[in-house]
Amino acid sequence: MNRRASRIFRRGPRTQAGAHPVDLADGLEHAHGLDRVIRTMSVAVQRTLRPGPVKDALHGVQVGHPAHPPLTDVPMGCWISVGVLDLLPGNRRAAQALVATGLAAAVPTALTGLADWASLHRQQQRVGLVHAMSTGTATLLYSASFVARTRGRDGTGRVLGYAGLTALLAGGYLGGHLAFRQAAGASHADQVAHLVPLGWHDLCSESELPEGWPVQRRLGYISLFVLRDGDEIHVLTDRCSHLAGPLHQGRIVGDSDELCVVCPWHGSTFRVADGSVVHGPATSRQPSFESRVLEDGTVQVRPVG
Q: How far is the CB of 224 from ligand FES (least distance, A)?
A: 16
Q: How far is the CB of 271 from ligand FES (least distance, A)?
A: 15
Q: If you compute the radius of gyration of the chain from its CA atoms, what whole number of angstroms results?
A: 24
Q: Which is nearer to ligand FES, 146 or 265 (CB)?
A: 265
Write out the DSSP string of the chain.
-----S---------S--SSHHHHHHHHHT-GGGHHHHHHHHHHHHHHS-SSHHHHHHHTGGGTS-SHHHHHHHHHHHHHHHHHHTTSTT-HHHHHHHHHHHHHHHHHHHHHHHHHHTTS-HHHHHHHHHHHHHHHHHHHHHHHHHHHHHTT-HHHHHHHHHHHHHHHHHHHHHHHIIIIIS-TTS--S--HHHHS-SS-EEEEEGGGSPBT--EEEEETTEEEEEEEETTEEEEEESB-TTT--BGGGSEEES-TTS-EEE-TTT--EEETTT--EEESS--SPPPEEEEEE-TTSEEEEEE--
Q: Which is nearer to ligand FES, 131 or 248 (CB)?
A: 248
Binding interface with ligand FES (CB under 6 A): 119, 240, 242-245, 263, 265-268, 281-282
Q: How far is the CB of 204 from ligand FES (least distance, A)?
A: 24
Residue 283 has a CB neighbour count (10 Å cut-off) of: 22
Q: How far is the CB of 242 from ligand FES (least distance, A)?
A: 3
Q: Which is nearer to ligand FES, 178 or 244 (CB)?
A: 244
Q: Which is nearer to ligand FES, 126 or 266 (CB)?
A: 266
Q: For residue 237, which of 219, 251, 253, 257 has the smallest C-alpha distance?
A: 219
Q: Which is nearer to ligand FES, 69 or 267 (CB)?
A: 267
Cis preceding-peptide flag for 197 (omega within 30 of 0) = no
Q: Which is nearer to ligand FES, 157 or 267 (CB)?
A: 267
Q: How far is the CB of 51 from ligand FES (least distance, A)?
A: 11
Q: How far is the CB of 141 from ligand FES (least distance, A)?
A: 34
Q: Which is nearer to ligand FES, 225 or 265 (CB)?
A: 265
Q: How far is the CB of 99 from ligand FES (least distance, A)?
A: 37
